[in-house]
């Protein structure tokens, strides 16, 4: 019997579909697919392009714009890399390399675009912005955590919901910009019920009811703190890759998470979407607190100093 030999022919690389999508779509259609308008994609190319060109010296290499579009589509949709490759007529291996390179470049920009306020003027502006929400004084940031699911790497990445995840801790300012992001902790490190079962948590549950001053404090605190929850919500809705299970090693997922935080800040800074600016609301000077610097002492001071006579 004669042997039958199968010869695999490499599919010719075609990149026209990527460029055609970029040139033929409206800004709204581009935002739906890539989360940025045409002008702001050009700004991304200007920002990331020089580094991406230095990383790619292969023949028939993807241009920086093509690499950025592939990565944005992957992060925005959360689709498998094979689906992204089929969408753009690019091999899955090329998609994997492109996503790695672009997220690495974005990760390297984290200190430039994700930073806490250092100057007194910046801090005062942020405090005024937070005070305008519900009159909560001297706030320079809100902190919260969220979990991003990953494929099973084993313990200690199993969280309290028995899912494998990375615990992401972030802070934001009054404009929903990330001021810090930490995506290095495995899911098992986060136990949100600790506060509820602690002595401070029991005390607040037992004593805050019926006290009008503390009720006003709590309402203002919740309204102010909700900003960071909204920030996480917008962030995850924008980059659906953070919603599903990211099929990468934890170290690589960390870089993807931080890259999405950088893109989130760039979107807001570049007007994606437009944010209605609110005027600063002057806050009264903060009373000096000379008591014990524990959570309950500071909380009681703020509640009685700012919310007792409203």
Largest CA distance in the chain: 97
Closest by CA position to 262, among listed 225, 235, 229, 228: 235
The answer to whether 41 and 69 are in contact (CB under 8 A) is yes
Of 80, 108, 136, the last residue of a domain is 108
What is the distance between the alpha carbons of residues 102 and 69, in angstroms, rounded to a whole number? 10
Give me 178's structure tokens. 């990330």
Alpha helices of the chain — where are they, by DSSP H? 16-24, 27-34, 38-55, 64-77, 81-88, 92-108, 110-113, 120-134, 194-197, 199-207, 212-238, 250-269, 295-306
Q: What is the pLDDT of residue 209?
A: 53
Domain co-membership, 124 together with 103: no
Total domains in the fold of the chain = 2
Query: What's the domain range around 236?
Result: 114-306
Residue 1 within any structural domain of the chain: no
Q: What is the pLDDT of residue 6?
A: 47
Closest by CA position to 42, among listed 63, 56, 59: 63
Q: What is the pLDDT of residue 140?
A: 85
What is the distance between the alpha carbons of residues 294 and 202, in angstroms, rounded to a whole number? 15
Residue 80 within any structural domain of the chain: yes
* Positions in the chain short of pLDDT 70: 1-17, 56-60, 190-215, 218, 274-299, 301-303, 305-310
Across the strands, what pairs with 167?
147, 185
Domain co-membership, 134 together with 281: yes
> Going by DSSP bridges, is the β-strand pair 178-186/142-149 parallel, antiparallel, or unpaired?
unpaired
Query: How far, CA to CA in Å, does 224 sit from each of 124, 140, 206, 217?
Result: 16, 11, 23, 11
Residue 9 within any structural domain of the chain: no
Across the strands, what pairs with 158?
164
Domain co-membership, 79 together with 119: no
* Residue 108: HSE in the Cβ half-sphere, 13 Å Cα cutoff: 10
Residue 4 within any structural domain of the chain: no
Of 108, 123, 138, the last residue of a domain is 108
Query: Which of helix, strand or coil describes residue 185?
Result: strand
What's the predicted TM-score (pTM) here? 0.78
Residue 169 within any structural domain of the chain: yes
What is the distance between the alpha carbons of residues 143 and 148, in angstroms, rounded to a whole number? 17
Q: What is the pLDDT of residue 172?
A: 92
Domain co-membership, 97 together with 225: no
Of 44, 75, 108, the last residue of a domain is 108
């Amino acid at each position: 019997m004669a042997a039958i030999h199968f010869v695999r022919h490499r599919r010719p690389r075609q990149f026209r579909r990527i460029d055609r999508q970029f040139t033929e779509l409206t800004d709204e259609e581009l935002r739906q697919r890539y989360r940025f308008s045409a002008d702001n994609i050009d700004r991304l190319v200007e920002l990331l392009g020089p580094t991406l060109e230095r990383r790619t010296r292969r023949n028939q290499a993807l241009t920086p714009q093509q690499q950025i579009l592939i990565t944005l589509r992957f992060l925005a949709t959360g689709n498998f890399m094979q689906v992204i490759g089929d969408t753009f007529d690019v091999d899955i291996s090329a998609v994997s390399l492109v996503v790695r390179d672009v997220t690495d470049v974005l990760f390297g920009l984290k200190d430039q675009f994700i930073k806490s306020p250092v100057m007194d003027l910046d801090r005062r502006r942020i405090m005024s912005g937070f005070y305008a929400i519900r009159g909560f004084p001297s706030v320079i940031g809100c902190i919260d955590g969220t979990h991003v699911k990953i494929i099973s790497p084993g313990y200690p990445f199993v969280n309290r919901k028995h899912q494998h995840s990375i615990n992401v801790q972030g802070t934001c300012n009054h404009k929903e910009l990330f001021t810090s992001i930490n995506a290095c902790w495995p899911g098992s490190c986060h136990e949100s019920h600790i506060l509820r079962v602690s002595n401070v948590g029991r005390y607040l549950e037992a004593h805050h009811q019926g006290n009008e001053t503390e009720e006003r404090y709590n309402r203002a605190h919740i309204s102010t703190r909700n900003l960071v929850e909204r920030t996480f919500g917008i962030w995850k809705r924008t980059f659906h890759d953070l919603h599903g299970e990211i099929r990468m090693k934890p170290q690589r997922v960390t870089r993807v998470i931080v890259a999405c935080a950088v893109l989130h800040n760039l979107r807001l800074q570049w007007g994606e979407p437009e944010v209605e600016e609110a005027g600063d609301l002057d806050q009264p000077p903060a009373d000096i607190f000379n008591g014990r610097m524990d959570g309950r002492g500071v909380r009681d001071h703020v509640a009685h100093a700012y919310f007792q006579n409203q």
